[in-house]
Amino acid sequence: MDLAQRPPYETVDFKALGQRDDEFMVLWQNSSGRLDFQDPETTKAVSKTILKVDFGLQLEVPDDRLCPPIPNRWNYVAWLQGLIDSTSADYSNKYDPERKVIGLDIGTGASAIYAMLCLKSRPNWTMCATDTDKKSFDSAARNLAINNLMTRTKLLQATALTPLIPIFALGVDHLDFTICNPPFFTSQDEMASSLDGERKSRKPNATCTGAEVEMVCPGGDLGFVTSIVNESLVLRDKVQWYSSMFGKLDSAKAITRLLKRHGISNWAVGVIDTGGNTKRWVVAWSFGDLRPRNVSVVSYTYMLRNLIMRKKQVRANIILWEQSIARMENIANECLPFPTLYTVIFPDSFSPEMAKETLNTHLSSLDMKWAWDAETSTGIVEASQNVWSRAYRRAYERKKKQGAEHMEAEEGQKVELAVRIKVVDLARQMDVEWLRGTDQVLWESFCGAVHGKFKKSS
């Protein structure tokens, strides 16, 4: 399997895992197919085997330090990969093996798990990693060394006084992302009662071998990530994506409210669900203007309509839904970023060919960049301002008559809005995707203007 784009785990087939690893097969058979997830040795064996079989990685962790459940950790890495890939400056929305990416694993732990998964799956990535706990730090270094990943990693042993994002101490001038699984709990009591609850469920991942130093901090996950937010307000676009996992949905929600209070409008919320009954949440935020892909509730409704009306489209629509990065289901709308996908269904009077012609004629008449690729029925718009307003268009027409090609010099102008438009012939619809920009009003105005060309009466 191509590790660079390995999909998230939905569940783990332990029997199949045994068929790929003799040692694990013995454990599986001895347990008569009912692995005891209360036994730390079993959870360790599961993590080690998944890492070995699926990623070609070795893992050694001290008995008194956290042994990470791999599906949970990989799903966060896969989500971040989607975030990075869908916010590249060339709008490719694809994994680019040439792109050099540098990340920071905050609190890498004894396993260095995020650093190892990132480095192993993306050969052009490099990582920085920190930890305050000496025992975890030494063990992280050992894991990176036995997997030959040390040369692509900058390890820093932090102290309580070190910033969580010690960009200067690490000697790097920017980071593409930060990744973090913070201590979740505010006290040992909270940790004990939460883990008791998980044990009672008797589901995979119920055992936690984490030491207090790994699991408890002032304010728990919310306190830890609030500190990251505060540092991000100073570092701003020195990091493209700040991110963290959360043990509590309420903490993730509180962080999205905090981001909004600080005027940060570009963020993403996801859920880490590996099929057991332990869910985690991830939030990422950016001061940059590249927007990650998501699927809006509106277009999901359209999809359902298409699903019923045009059975052929079922597959394509479901794939689109699965690709959502920035918005998850079952969370209050106020915690979600503004939708970046807008769908226009063509009225019956428009064939897809007519629609493409209407689109091309209209968009090429405006004072902005419009590049159309007929082969993929996809075009990219780059505009420096609202050039589709009636007032701007009139002024532009007047200037053109006077011989000026553009109202303002095209080169060097800041792109305030970039959009991809894809005509999907079979679905008789057009997906308009917000790629770049911070002005929600400008984006909505553009969608309204394009939609206006496809009203029934047109």
Ligand X SMILES: C[S@@+](CC[C@H](N)C(=O)[O-])C[C@H]1O[C@@H](n2cnc3c(N)ncnc32)[C@H](O)[C@@H]1O
Residue 73 counted as an annotated binding residue:
yes
**According to CB under 6 A, which one of 50, 59, 61, 66 is a site residue for ligand X?**
66
The partner residues of 369 in beta bridges, in order of sequence, read 382
Residue 223 beta carbon to ligand X: minimum distance, rounded to whole angstroms? 11
Q: Should residue 107 be labelled a site residue for ligand X when binding is judged by CB under 6 A? A: yes
- How many chain residues interact with ligand X (CB under 6 A)? 23
**According to CB under 6 A, which one of 113, 320, 387, 435 is a site residue for ligand X?**
113
**According to CB under 6 A, which one of 5, 124, 132, 226 is a site residue for ligand X?**
132
Closest C-alpha among 230, 314, 219, 264 to residue 438: 264
For residues 372 and 353, give the distance between their C-alpha atoms in angstroms, rounded to a whole number. 14
Q: Should residue 131 be labelled a site residue for ligand X when binding is judged by CB under 6 A? A: yes
Residues 373-392 that bind ligand X (CB under 6 A): none
Residue 439 beta carbon to ligand X: minimum distance, rounded to whole angstroms? 36
Residue 132 beta carbon to ligand X: minimum distance, rounded to whole angstroms? 4
Backbone angles phi, psi at 17, to 5 degrees: -60, -45
Q: Pick the closer one to ligand X by CB: 169 or 366.
A: 169
- Helix then strand then coil, % of the chain, to nearest 5: 40, 20, 40
Q: Pick the closer one to ligand X by CB: 62 or 288.
A: 62
Q: Should residue 57 be labelled a site residue for ligand X when binding is judged by CB under 6 A? A: no
Q: Pick the closer one to ligand X by CB: 41 or 64.
A: 64
End-to-end alpha-carbon separation of the chain, Å? Answer: 49
Residue 181 counted as an annotated binding residue:
yes
Q: How many CB atoms lie within 10 A of CB 364?
A: 12
Q: Pick the closer one to ligand X by CB: 140 or 359.
A: 140
Q: Which residues contact 397 (CB under 8 A, 6 or more apart)?
A: none
Q: Pick the closer one to ligand X by CB: 4 or 213.
A: 213
Residue 129 beta carbon to ligand X: minimum distance, rounded to whole angstroms? 9
Q: Phi/psi zone of residue 111: left (φ > 0), alpha (ψ -120 to 50 degrees), beta?
A: alpha
Encoding tokens for residue 441? 């009003």
Note the helical H segments in 86-131.
113-121
Q: Pick the closer one to ligand X by CB: 18 or 107.
A: 107
Q: Should residue 133 be labelled a site residue for ligand X when binding is judged by CB under 6 A? A: yes
Segment contacting ligand X by CB under 6 A, of 22-30, 81-89, 101-109, 396-404? 101-109
**According to CB under 6 A, which one of 46, 106, 225, 380 is a site residue for ligand X?**
106
For residues 152 and 174, give the distance between their C-alpha atoms in angstroms, rounded to a whole number. 16
To the nearest 10°, the Cα dihedral for 199, 202, 204, 207? Answer: 30
Residue 326 beta carbon to ligand X: minimum distance, rounded to whole angstroms? 23
**Binding-residue pattern over the window 181 to 210 for ligand X, x denoting contact by CB under 6 A:** x-x---------------------------
Residues 139-168 that bind ligand X (CB under 6 A): 158, 164
For every residue of 124-169, DSSP letters joined together read TEEEEEEES-HHHHHHHHHHHHHTT-GGGEEEEE--TTS-SS-TTT
Residue 112 beta carbon to ligand X: minimum distance, rounded to whole angstroms? 8
**According to CB under 6 A, which one of 18, 103, 109, 379 is a site residue for ligand X?**
109
Q: Should residue 221 be labelled a site residue for ligand X when binding is judged by CB under 6 A? A: no
Residue labelled with tokens 């040992």: 188
Using DSSP, state whether 423 is helix, strand or coil.
strand
Q: Should residue 108 be labelled a site residue for ligand X when binding is judged by CB under 6 A? A: yes
Using DSSP, state whether 106 is helix, strand or coil.
strand
Residue 241 beta carbon to ligand X: minimum distance, rounded to whole angstroms? 17
Closest C-alpha among 152, 141, 143 to residue 101: 152
Q: Pick the closer one to ligand X by CB: 53 or 211.
A: 211
For residues 1 and 304, give the distance between their C-alpha atoms in angstroms, rounded to a whole number. 32
**According to CB under 6 A, which one of 136, 251, 274, 377 is a site residue for ligand X?**
136
Residue 288 counted as an annotated binding residue:
no
Q: Should residue 228 be labelled a site residue for ligand X when binding is judged by CB under 6 A? A: no
Distance of CA 287 to the CA centre of its chain: 15
Residue 107 counted as an annotated binding residue:
yes
Closest C-alpha among 148, 150, 102 to residue 124: 102
Chain residues in the site for ligand X (CB under 6 A): 66, 68, 73, 106-109, 111, 113-114, 130-133, 136, 158, 164, 181, 183, 213-215, 217
- Detail the residues annotated as belonging to a binding site for S-adenosyl-L-methionine: 73, 107, 131, 181
